[in-house]
């Protein structure tokens, strides 16, 4: 009830202010499909919007990540404590800086004075890869000659949690050198688990199992070092190179669970240990000749992993060790030609290759060796016709898998349509359709059985095949400058998707696996509204949305859920106050219903010149912290498993950001790139 009242109250605030705003100045650009709304500082393109940060926003932003949070892109959530950028729709958010795939740490090393615009692609096309829900591309400028350095530190005061980085950049004429180091550490000493399970045997005899667990104090640490070099000649020809390495892991980690098995009580200990190293090299070359542009990109990566796991109880002992290696590469070439009639033709080709070798040691050795490669050819045509803009794309992809005992090839045709129509100077109607391909994870393909307890085990399925998802979105945007509305409807259909297979029972052991035996219908209806008040010194937004998931074919389940996101920002002198709230949400896939608990954050910031200090609280008045609950809806093995990190309840933190730079401005040429696949495929 409180959530409904909050939503209605905020919506009334927006409706009250709509009719008072008729001062928006709208001009049309001669460039390809651009409509500039000057009062809101947004440029609408065919398939993306460019947000131009205001001086007030830059004044209060500490770095690129903070600026992204202040801009408040629709359906995007920026968490400055956990350092994540997420979308409310299914899929990852791809972050780019000048078209280069980047990380949150890269955003933290970006000074706000270098930011020119933020491009937001809510419906990414074929060239951005698989499973991408949105693309955020930040366009910047750099110095001609000069040095820039900075540091960012985020440390919790009530628990062991920190995320810190330092960076240095040196620019000389056409070249830029850079180095960045990022260190992360957190403890799981306040992580607790709870599960309730109901098993039905062959003779309809039932077993109820209750588990309550707590993790030992084990610190996860991560070190990331990146060296970069960029040379740009006459803003047309560019060469970019990045060499990075990351090593992360956690020492001995124990989960102690107290178990009530019908009338029996005992304790079970699950042990984990992990260590990973991941170097990567990325090279890019691009050139522009007249109306033609061409780019070539190559990425190569290596991943080494050592993982240990064991389960120990009075009636059960099981352990295994994994040594894994993976080599992967990605090559890409793109060509585009701009015509005089405000249109553009693009052609691209992508090639990947991966080799994975994981050695499992239990009572006997098991080798999981996989070789897979893919080829992808696509073409896209972009055209502006008066009030209408259209992008037509089509691609053909080939996925080849070669495992221990089987190999297969999967072909798919991937069309993509993006249509925009300007109903008025302030209202735009958009429709997009895309077919994407999802491939099985290597751990899902590995036929290694992991024993979790005396009742349950998880096994891979080497017969899994890729599947396609048809994505449709209809969106209506209404922009009045200080007031903005967006009404969106999404429908996704996944055919023969990879999901949970029905649980099988043999000799008292319930086996969980995966299959291609179900279809999923996903509906998402959302309404986003934002309002600026008091000369843009007060900002408020609200986004209620409803999700409905329907599983058909081999698995039949249905789930509907309503949720809301809301927040506000206040700017007063050098101070700013931010508050964000996200209610709980749910997602149904296969027989698994995932319930994410509600969360909120309150932060007070102060910025003086290049120094920014923030003090905030995560999950105010929520002692239970953050976490999720996973309901498994099997008829013979129903379970409810919950995990919570109590350290994030009423967590007080302090963040510091400082940078220093000098030099003349220089616009850096755009660079486009992607990461090589680092999925080790180890069963954990």
Least confident of 151-155, 285-289, 315-319, 377-381: 315-319
Provide the 3-class DSSP secondary structure of residue 233.
strand
User: What is the pLDDT at residue 56?
Assistant: 85
> If we measure between CA atoms, which residue out of 158, 35, 16 comes closest to residue 479?
35
What is the average pLDDT across 243-258? Answer: 92
Does 218 or 655 have the greater pLDDT score?
Answer: 655
What is the average pLDDT across 523-538? Answer: 92
Alpha carbon 69 to its chain's center: 15
How far apart are alpha carbons 86 and 77 in whole angstroms? Answer: 5
What is the average pLDDT across 145-171? Answer: 89
Does 664 or 340 have the greater pLDDT score?
Answer: 340
> Are the beta carbons of 255 and 215 closer than 8 angstroms?
yes
> Are the beta carbons of 638 and 632 closer than 8 angstroms?
yes
What tokens were used for 340? 């005089």
Residues 40-340+359-666: name the CATH superfamily: TonB-dependent receptor, beta-barrel domain (2.40.170.20)
What is the average pLDDT across 74-78? Answer: 82
Query: What residues contact residue 621 under an 8 Å CB cut-off, 6+ apart?
Result: 650
Question: How many other β-carbons are positioned within 10 Å of the β-carbon of residue 361?
Answer: 13
> Are the beta carbons of 276 and 684 closer than 8 angstroms?
no
For 64, the enclosing helix (H) or strand (E) is: helix 64-71
Burial class (CB in 10 A: 0-12, 13-18, 19+), 409: exposed
User: What is the pLDDT at residue 563?
Assistant: 95
Provide the 3-class DSSP secondary structure of residue 174.
coil
Check pLDDT > 60 for residue 670: no
pLDDT tier, 46 (very low <50, low <70, confident <90, very high otherwise)? low
CB-hemisphere CA count at 13 Å for 609?
3
User: What is the pLDDT at residue 94?
Assistant: 86
**Checking phi first, is residue 288 left (phi over 0); if not, alpha (psi -120 to 50) or beta?**
beta
User: What is the pLDDT at residue 12?
Assistant: 43
User: Chain-wide mean pLDDT for the chain?
Assistant: 85
> If we measure between CA atoms, which residue out of 567, 580, 521 comes closest to residue 540?
567
Q: What is the DSSP string of 439-484?
A: ---HHHH---EEE-SSSEEEE--TT---EEEEEEEEEEEEE-SSEE
How far apart are alpha carbons 666 and 364 in whole angstroms? Answer: 60
Check pLDDT > 80 for residue 401: yes
Query: What residues contact residue 308 under an 8 Å CB cut-off, 6+ apart?
Result: 271, 272, 273, 274, 319, 320, 321, 322
How far apart are alpha carbons 337 and 322 in whole angstroms? Answer: 49
User: What is the pLDDT at residue 327?
Assistant: 95
How far apart are alpha carbons 361 and 319 in whole angstroms? Answer: 9
Least confident of 7-16, 44-53, 114-123, 458-467: 7-16
How far apart are alpha carbons 329 and 584 in whole angstroms? Answer: 39
User: What is the pLDDT at residue 143?
Assistant: 59
For 14, the enclosing helix (H) or strand (E) is: helix 2-18
Rounded alpha-carbon distances, angstroms, from residue 296 to 237, 332, 349:
12, 6, 10
In the block, tokens 């892109």 appear at 73
pLDDT tier, 431 (very low <50, low <70, confident <90, very high otherwise)? very high
Q: What is the DSSP string of 617-656?
A: EESTT-TT-EEEEEEEE-SSEEEEEEEEEGGGTTEEEEEE
Provide the 3-class DSSP secondary structure of residue 648.
helix
Quote the percentage of the chain above a pLDDT of 70: 88
Check pLDDT > 70 for residue 49: yes
User: What is the pLDDT at residue 129?
Assistant: 66
> Are the beta carbons of 377 and 393 closer than 8 angstroms?
no
For 57, the enclosing helix (H) or strand (E) is: helix 55-60
User: What is the pLDDT at residue 235?
Assistant: 66
How far apart are alpha carbons 249 and 478 in whole angstroms? Answer: 47
What is the average pLDDT across 166-184? Answer: 89
Burial class (CB in 10 A: 0-12, 13-18, 19+), 551: buried
Rounded alpha-carbon distances, angstroms, from residue 601 to 10, 82, 579, 625:
18, 11, 6, 11
Query: What residues contact residue 340 under an 8 Å CB cut-off, 6+ apart?
Result: none
Alpha carbon 662 to its chain's center: 33
Q: What is the DSSP string of 393-448?
A: EEEEEEEEEE-SS-EEEEEEEEEEEEEEEESSSSEEEEEEEEEEEE---HHHH---
What tokens were used for 123? 């419906």
> Are the beta carbons of 589 and 616 closer than 8 angstroms?
no
How far apart are alpha carbons 37 and 50 in whole angstroms? Answer: 11
What tokens were used for 456? 């349950």
Q: What is the DSSP string of 527-545?
A: EEEEEEETTTTEEEEEEEE
pLDDT tier, 467 (very low <50, low <70, confident <90, very high otherwise)? very high
User: What is the pLDDT at residue 92?
Assistant: 84
Rounded alpha-carbon distances, angstroms, from residue 590 to 8, 130, 198, 485:
34, 20, 19, 34
Least confident of 145-149, 167-171, 198-202, 557-561: 145-149
pLDDT tier, 119 (very low <50, low <70, confident <90, very high otherwise)? very high
How far apart are alpha carbons 484 and 486 in whole angstroms? Answer: 7
What is the average pLDDT across 465-484? Answer: 91
User: What is the pLDDT at residue 213?
Assistant: 95
How far apart are alpha carbons 156 and 154 in whole angstroms? Answer: 7
Query: What residues contact residue 528 under an 8 Å CB cut-off, 6+ apart?
Result: 74, 75, 484, 485, 486, 487, 488, 541, 542, 543
What is the average pLDDT across 622-629? Answer: 92
User: What is the pLDDT at residue 540?
Assistant: 93
Least confident of 47-51, 433-437, 676-680: 676-680
User: CA-based angle 517:633:489, to the nearest 5?
Assistant: 70
How far apart are alpha carbons 224 and 678 in whole angstroms? Answer: 15
User: What is the pLDDT at residue 103?
Assistant: 80
How far apart are alpha carbons 36 and 630 in whole angstroms? Answer: 45
Provide the 3-class DSSP secondary structure of residue 127.
helix
> Are the beta carbons of 133 and 87 closer than 8 angstroms?
yes
Where are the chain's structural domains? 40-340+359-666
How far apart are alpha carbons 136 and 114 in whole angstroms? Answer: 16
3-state SS, 597-609, equals: CCEEEEEEEEEEC
Check pLDDT > 80 for residue 128: no
Rounded alpha-carbon distances, angstroms, from residue 317 to 59, 233, 313:
59, 63, 6
What tokens were used for 397? 């992809």
> Are the beta carbons of 52 and 42 closer than 8 angstroms?
yes
In the block, tokens 């996973």 appear at 630
What tokens were used for 195? 């599960």
Check pLDDT > 80 for residue 534: yes
> If we measure between CA atoms, which residue out of 486, 340, 338, 488 comes closest to residue 42?
486
């Amino acid at each position: 009830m409180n959530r409904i009242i909050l939503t209605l109250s905020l919506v009334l605030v927006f409706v009250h202010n709509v009719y008072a705003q008729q001062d928006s100045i709208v001009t049309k650009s001669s460039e390809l499909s651009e409509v500039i709304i000057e009062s809101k500082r947004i440029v609408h393109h065919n398939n993306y919007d460019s947000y131009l940060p205001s001086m007030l926003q830059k004044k209060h932003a500490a770095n690129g990540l903070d600026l992204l949070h202040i801009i408040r892109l629709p359906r995007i959530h920026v968490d400055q404590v956990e350092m994540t950028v997420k979308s409310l729709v299914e899929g990852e958010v791809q972050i780019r800086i000048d078209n280069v795939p980047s990380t949150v740490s890269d955003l933290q090393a970006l000074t706000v004075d270098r930011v020119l615009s933020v491009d937001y692609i809510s419906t990414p096309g074929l060239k951005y890869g698989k499973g991408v829900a949105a693309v955020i591309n930040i366009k910047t400028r750099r110095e001609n000659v000069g040095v820039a350095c900075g540091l960012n530190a985020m440390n919790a005061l009530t628990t062991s949690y920190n995320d810190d980085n330092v960076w240095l950049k040196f620019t000389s004429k056409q070249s830029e050198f850079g180095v960045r180091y990022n260190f992360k550490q957190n403890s799981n000493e306040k992580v607790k688990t709870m599960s309730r399970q109901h098993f039905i045997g062959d003779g309809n005899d039932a077993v109820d199992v209750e588990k309550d667990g707590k993790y030992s104090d084990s610190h996860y640490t991560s070190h990331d070092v990146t060296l970069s070099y960029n040379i740009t000649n006459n803003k047309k020809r560019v060469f970019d190179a990045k060499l990075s390495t990351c090593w992360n892991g956690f020492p001995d980690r124990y989960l102690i669970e107290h178990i009530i098995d019908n009338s029996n009580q005992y304790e079970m200990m699950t042990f984990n240990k992990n260590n990973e190293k991941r170097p990567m090299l990325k090279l890019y070359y691009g050139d522009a000749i007249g109306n033609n542009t061409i780019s070539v990109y190559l990425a190569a990566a290596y991943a080494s992993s050592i993982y240990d796991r064991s389960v120990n109880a009075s009636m059960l002992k099981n352990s295994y060790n994994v040594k894994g290696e993976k080599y992967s590469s990605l090559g890409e070439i793109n060509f585009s030609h701009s015509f005089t009639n405000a249109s553009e033709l693009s052609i691209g080709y992508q090639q990947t290759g991966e080799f994975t070798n994981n050695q499992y040691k239990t009572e006997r050795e098991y080798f999981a060796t996989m070789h897979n490669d893919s080829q992808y050819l696509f073409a896209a045509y972009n055209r502006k016709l008066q009030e209408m803009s259209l992008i037509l794309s089509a691609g053909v992809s080939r996925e080849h898998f070669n495992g221990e005992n089987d190999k297969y090839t999967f072909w798919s045709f991937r069309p993509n349509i993006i249509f925009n129509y300007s109903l008025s100077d302030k209202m735009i109607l958009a429709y997009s359709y895309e077919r994407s391909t999802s491939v099985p994870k290597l751990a899902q393909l590995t036929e290694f059985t992991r024993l979790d307890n005396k009742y349950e085990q998880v096994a891979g399925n080497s017969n899994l095949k890729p599947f396609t998802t048809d994505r449709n979105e209809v969106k209506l945007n209404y922009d009045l400058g200080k007031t903005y509305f967006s009404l969106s409807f999404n429908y996704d259909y996944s055919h023969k998707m990879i999901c949970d297979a029905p649980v099988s029972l043999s000799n008292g052991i319930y086996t969980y696996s995966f299959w291609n035996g179900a279809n999923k219908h996903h509906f998402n209806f959302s309404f986003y509204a934002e309002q600026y008040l008091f000369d843009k010194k007060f900002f408020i937004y609200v986004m209620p949305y409803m999700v409905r998931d329907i599983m058909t074919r081999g698995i039949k389940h249905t789930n509907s859920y309503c949720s809301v996101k809301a927040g506000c920002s206040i700017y007063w002198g050098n101070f700013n106050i931010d508050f964000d709230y996200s209610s709980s949400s749910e997602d149904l896939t296969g027989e698994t219903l995932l319930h994410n608990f509600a969360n909120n954050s309150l932060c007070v910031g102060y910025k003086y010149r290049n120094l920014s200090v923030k003090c905030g609280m995560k999950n105010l008045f929520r002692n239970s912290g953050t976490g999720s609950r996973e309901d498994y809806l099997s008829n013979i093995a129903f379970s409810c498993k919950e995990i919570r990190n109590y350290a994030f309840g009423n967590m007080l933190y302090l963040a510091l950001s400082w940078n220093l730079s000098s030099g003349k401005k220089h616009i850096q040429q755009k660079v486009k790139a992607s990461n090589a696949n680092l999925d080790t495929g180890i069963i954990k």
